[in-house]
């Protein structure tokens, strides 16, 4: 028995009520709720309302600053480091992305990093923000818990450190790559556990190197990087660029925000905005991206493959479906949100 689908507006309003109830100022609650509900709208089920009970727990435990003041620590024409003052990650990266777009408008490219940020939801949210200004977005984050060791090791010093890149087309949807540097993102493990499903071999191994397929045993093993040592290399490099370079946590300093609600995480992220107008006529560029889309789609297919997909195609399809028909919520999640509403004394979904 699934609950009836929820509209984006209703989900956004509910999340906003929850944040206001725990003391987040109205405007900030609205911005954060918009981004979180958008995560559900675009099909990133592990990063939207699913995270709300945890975020609320962190706020109530004092792990997140409800009224942060952002500071610019370093700044050049095309770069900045923003100190997020331990505010909600969504607010910090929304601010950082706005700043990057403003700079790139003049300089052609801009790179804005953040320290003392927090978990900010799916990477594609921020990579897609520059699209509306004829810009390409690239976002990288230090994940909010370590889930893999360096290649050959058994101590989890690295997170999945995701990357998202968004590139606009004309008549086709934007190409949006949003991927963890591991075969599976940890959010997918959590979703499988919540749904009572087993994981395929190849997502995780245990400390002896054997396949781990039961998501409820996830804490006994670690995620596998893509391409073995290559994925380890990407996780390391992305962690340095999004974490170390900004003075944010990386390696042993990363707080497992699934296990610890009270400590400041000092999460690091960065956004790069690239102004297409600094490289080419935007209309011609968009047409050339449509051409790329058509080339890939029209390639002959392997036996048993019904369709070749572009990164971002499913995101676009899900977004359209959910905009029209609403966002389906798993019964377990709906129950959690109802329980949260009762505890916070707010109107339920």
Copy the structure tokens of residue 92: 């910090």
Q: How many CB atoms lie within 10 A of CB 316?
A: 18
Nearer to a copy of itself, 64 or 164 (CB): 164
CB of 210 to a copy of itself, least distance (A): 11
Q: Which residues contact residue 77 at a Cβ distance below 8 angstroms, ignoring those fewer than 6 apart?
A: 103, 106, 107
In 163-253, where does DSSP find H-type helix? 186-195, 229-242
CB of 14 to a copy of itself, least distance (A): 33
CB of 299 to a copy of itself, least distance (A): 4
CB of 138 to a copy of itself, least distance (A): 9
The residue with tokens 């992220």 is 269
Nearer to a copy of itself, 157 or 341 (CB): 157
Nearer to a copy of itself, 301 or 325 (CB): 301
Q: Give the Cα separation of 32 and 45 in Å (integer).
A: 16
Nearer to a copy of itself, 253 or 321 (CB): 253
Q: Give the Cα separation of 261 and 105 in Å (integer).
A: 39
- 254: closest CA among 87, 142, 117? 142
By the 10 Å C-beta count (0-12 exposed, 13-18 middle, 19+ buried), 30 is classed as: middle
CB of 51 to a copy of itself, least distance (A): 23
- 223: closest CA among 284, 158, 277? 158
CB of 49 to a copy of itself, least distance (A): 26
Q: For the chain, what is the radius of gyration of the CA atoms?
A: 20
Q: How many CA atoms lie within 13 A of 33 on its CB side?
A: 22
End-to-end Cα separation, the chain, in angstroms: 17
Q: Give the Cα separation of 238 and 270 in Å (integer).
A: 10
Nearer to a copy of itself, 36 or 99 (CB): 99
Q: Is 296 left (phi over 0), alpha (psi -120 to 50) or beta?
A: alpha
Q: Which residues contact residue 277 at a Cβ distance below 8 angstroms, ignoring those fewer than 6 apart?
A: 134
Nearer to a copy of itself, 45 or 313 (CB): 313
CB of 209 to a copy of itself, least distance (A): 6
Nearer to a copy of itself, 207 or 335 (CB): 207
Nearer to a copy of itself, 55 or 293 (CB): 293
CB of 227 to a copy of itself, least distance (A): 3
Nearer to a copy of itself, 99 or 337 (CB): 99
Q: Give the Cα separation of 213 and 140 in Å (integer).
A: 28
CB of 278 to a copy of itself, least distance (A): 5
Copy the structure tokens of residue 278: 């600094």
């Amino acid at each position: 028995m699934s609950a009836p689908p929820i509209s984006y507006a209703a989900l956004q309003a509910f999340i906003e009520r929850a944040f206001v109830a725990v003391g987040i100022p109205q405007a900030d609650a609205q911005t954060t709720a918009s981004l979180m509900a958008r995560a559900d709208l675009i099909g990133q089920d592990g990063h939207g309302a699913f995270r709300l009970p945890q975020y609320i727990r962190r706020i109530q435990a004092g792990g997140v600053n409800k009224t942060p003041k952002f500071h610019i620590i370093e700044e050049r024409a095309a770069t900045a480091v923003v100190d997020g003052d331990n505010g909600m990650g969504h607010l910090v990266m929304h601010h950082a992305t706005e700043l990057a777009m403003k700079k790139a408008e003049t300089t052609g490219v801009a790179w804005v990093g953040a320290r003392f940020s927090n978990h900010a939801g799916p990477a594609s949210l921020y990579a897609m923000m520059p699209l509306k200004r004829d810009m390409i977005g690239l976002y990288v984050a230090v994940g909010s818990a370590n889930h893999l060791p360096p290649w050959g090791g058994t101590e989890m010093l690295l997170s999945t450190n995701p990357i998202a890149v968004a590139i606009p087309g004309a008549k086709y949807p934007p190409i949006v790559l949003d991927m963890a540097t591991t075969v599976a993102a940890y959010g997918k493990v959590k979703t499988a556990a919540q749904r009572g499903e087993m994981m395929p071999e190849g997502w995780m191994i245990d400390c002896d190197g054997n396949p781990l397929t039961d998501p409820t045993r996830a804490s006994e093993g670690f995620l596998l990087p893509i391409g073995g040592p290559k994925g380890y290399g990407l996780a390391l490099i992305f962690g340095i660029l999004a974490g170390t370079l900004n003075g944010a946590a990386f390696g042993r300093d990363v707080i497992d925000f699934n296990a610890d609600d009270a400590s400041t995480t000092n999460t690091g992220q960065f956004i790069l905005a690239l102004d297409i107008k600094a490289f080419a006529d935007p209309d011609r560029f968009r047409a050339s991206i449509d051409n790329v889309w058509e080339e890939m789609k029209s390639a002959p297919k392997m036996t048993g493959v019904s369709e070749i997909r572009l990164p971002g195609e499913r995101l676009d399809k899900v977004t359209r479906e959910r905009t029209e028909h609403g966002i389906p919520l798993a019964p377990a999640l709906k129950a959690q949100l109802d329980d949260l509403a009762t505890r916070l004394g707010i109107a339920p979904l």
